[in-house]
Structure 1
Amino acid sequence: MLPRLLLLICAPLCEPAELFLIASPSHPTEGSPVTLTCKMPFLQSSDAQFQFCFFRDTRALGPGWSSSPKLQIAAMWKEDTGSYWCEAQTMASKVLRSRRSQINVHRVPVADVSLETQPPGGQVMEGDRLVLICSVAMGTGDITFLWYKGAVGLNLQSKTQRSLTAEYEIPSVRESDAEQYYCVAENGYGPSPSGLVSITVRIPVSRPILMLRAPRAQAAVEDVLELHCEALRGSPPILYWFYHEDITLGSRSAPSGGGASFNLSLTEEHSGNYSCEANNGLGAQRSEAVTLNFTVPTGARSNHLTSGVIEGLLSTLGPATVALLFCYGLKRKIGRRSARDPLRSLPSPLPQEFTYLNSPTPGQLQPIYENVNVVSGDEVYSLAYYNQPEQESVAAETLGTHMEDKVSLDIYSRLRKANITDVDYEDAM
């Protein structure tokens, strides 16, 4: 009775047990973890001492034999697709083997490819470092990244790596690197391109060149002088400033690059040194000074001097002197008129004419007085003039005598209080 009971108890242990391999998840995608479990339906691992080992195809996985019935795989890739199974070994060196299980790893195609730049915005200074970063929002496995320059697609570089981003670097940017760029990513399901990204290379302005253009070989006053300033290198827009002896004349802008001109009408003060400055926000550069010497016409200089002297005299002399100058001019005018036409009478009131017949002694002259004007305040000026007869020939038997009048004029002045009767007619009107 007792041997039969022992046989019934030992029977489950002596009979071979069946193993099962369980994968979780059973349909993994690339890059995801997987847990493999070697399981006995009627036996717990704690009931007996077992060693476990996991295999893919004919190759052992992990550390080999282990007391744990589970194996953790951190990430599964497309090449990990295959036939998996496990083994269990008892203390008596009896080995149990599970059935094979096919595990297929699924790859996710790349999607949403984009290209970014560092520094951001696509603007970089000449000589600085530029990085083109190609990224995908989705995609698993080994992804091949390719970078292209220009719309026609000049291949610059390609990289294959298990990453969602990759970088292409230009260590020192040159002016020729200003272009459109794009990248392509693919992982076996066809290439997927990014959009175009424009790269602008910002170039500081070079030292500008100043040219002076005049309408003639020797510039003169009132000529229009053209100042042309141009920086041969530099990113637009460029702002130009023009100077005469460090005094700002004005500015001009060149939105598309190149040079700019400033026109100046020359005066006597415009001889000297001229210069210009170029600035595009990346640093200013100033040109060398250009010297301009031009001639000043003698007439213009003398007229300028004469007008200055007259203005100074008029501001210094008082109203009385101005009146005297006026009367002196009137006297000369009357004298010239009498010389041209001796028989023509003087302006009203008419002076008396004296005729002498063979008289060696002329008659007494009768002066005529006339108020000129009230100049200022209480000061009144009078004009006195008379005719001086002149005997040209004397004949004893002839009674006719031809006389030529000579006008004499004197100026008198006296102080009196001006009253309403002193106002001129034109002033009253």
Structure 2
Amino acid sequence: MQRAGSHGMARSVVVLLWAQALGLAGTQLSQLTLDPPWTPVFQTEMVMLTCRGSGMPGHTYWYINNRLWWQEGSDRIRASKDYPGSGSYQCRGPGAELSPPITLSFSNDWLILQVPAQTLLEGDRLQLRCRGWKDKHISQVQFFHERDVLKGPTLGAELYLQPLQLHHSGHYHCQAVVQYLLAGWQKSAPVMVTVQELFSVPVLRLEGPAEITEGSPLALNCSSRSSPLRPPAHLQYIFYKDRVVVGGPQGSPQLQLLAVGLSHSGNYYCEVRTETASVWKHSAPVTVTVYRVPVSGVSLVAQPPGGQVVEGDRLVLNCSVAVGTGPLSFSWHRQGSATRLAVGPRYELHAAGRQDSGRYHCSVTDGSTTADSPPLRVTVLVPVAGAAIAMARTEPSVLAGENLNLSCSVRAGTAPVNFTWLRDRQELGWGPLLSLGAVGPEHAGTYQCLATNSLGTHRVFWARSPVLTLSVVLPGQGWQHQGTATATGLSVPLLLLLAAVGWQLRRRHRAATRRSQGRDPTAPPEPEGHLPEPAAHPRVLKNKEVEDEEVLYTHVVVTKQGEGTSASRPPWGSPHPPPPWEPPVTYAVLPGPHAQPQLPSDIYENIP
């Protein structure tokens, strides 16, 4: 072993100690432990000291009373009262800095007070042990801190203090009755206990000026330095304003307030504590002052977006302010109205009506300045309803060669309204006016128009007009109801009977259809040949087709046989003409939504 007494080595030890005390050493500290972990010990006892560095290979250096005692030695040494004796022990392991000191002393008193040899930090538990010489039995043990008797949980000759605070530092001793040859009171020598900081008192700093304007961001930083004697503790940070929590507990030492108002003025401080709250410390307060600014940046937001709603829907308008002083007052206005509609930052219409359309804006004031939001156009859309077809003639029978125009209109609906024309359920044209020109047999059939309007691109509303059955009368013909079905050679009573049967079947079917669709039984019956009005819910048109009811159409035509009459040609829409020698009765059944689609859509039968 080498003993170093040079002044240069002593100066290096002093520099290392100062670096440790100031927390300047950035590398890992060596760890020095004692087994058994108590000090002082009796003169007859020996202890083992162990030094742990960073785990790198190398030599261990031992120091006693701030002087190098053993250079390039083992990481373990045995100590007794004779060698190396009492003193302050330190070590420096490979790749690490100088360890915290451990004070080891040997005693030959009747009674000693033992305390942990390791460094004590805030929040630790302090165990005090009162021992008699050669572990003689002791009784009536009392513990003292300076001159005060300690009261606390005891276990025999031991007493525990937890959690430790800085004020627990000082001199401790114990007294007890020791049983030896004669029992008597003994008092231990005082032992110095030092409790060090687990972390420093926090300091609250503002990242910016302490006087700011309303709407500006405010950043607070609570800084505290952990003790280098232990691995960094997991700390919690809490921020207060005028003793009210405004942030935390959180693991971050920073608090961000994105936009402050007048209410954010006040005294701020922060608290740092351990996860178990065994140690906590407060910073000094910092005063923050927020100044008023004029109201500006008023905006209006609608729900649904854009302020477009369907009649009867709910509309909500919200008013917000980018910057401005408080307290703020809100009011709602509509163009053309002299009185305000409501107050507060929110305006709601539970069921919007067509009269609610118009331009809206909100007004915000702080008592001295006022600002308005840009106007928002609110559109209340009325779905189309009551579509109807009109033409110049009062009868649906038109003489071939006449010019005919059909027009479609709606009873209600917000513009723009689009019109689609269907003939025999096939798309024919668009627009409110359908010009057929000079009509011919090919124009005979069922006509219907579909009126639609929409809210944006995702909601479409439609209304279907009643069906108009148009027949074309050729020159030279007798009376004709519709050129789609013919009958020859039948008596008038038989024709009337067939018509009555068809009317009765159609009447029963229409009543069953109304019951299944939940229609009002008190509503007036629809004209014969018309399709029912569509449901009031929105529907997107697909393939430009309209579903029909299962309606039985029975049309009987009586035509005189002769040259040039309709009996000599097939009915319009019929795939084949009937034989001239077979007097037929023809009826047409139009399939409804439950029938399989067929081409052509009409089914014809002959009854001899």
TM range (shorter): 0.3 to 0.5
Q: Radius of gyration: which is bigger?
A: 1
- Give 1 or 2: higher helix fraction: 1
Q: Which one has more relative contact order, counting CA pairs under 8 Å at least 6 apart? A: 1
- Give the TM-score normalised by structure 1: 0.43
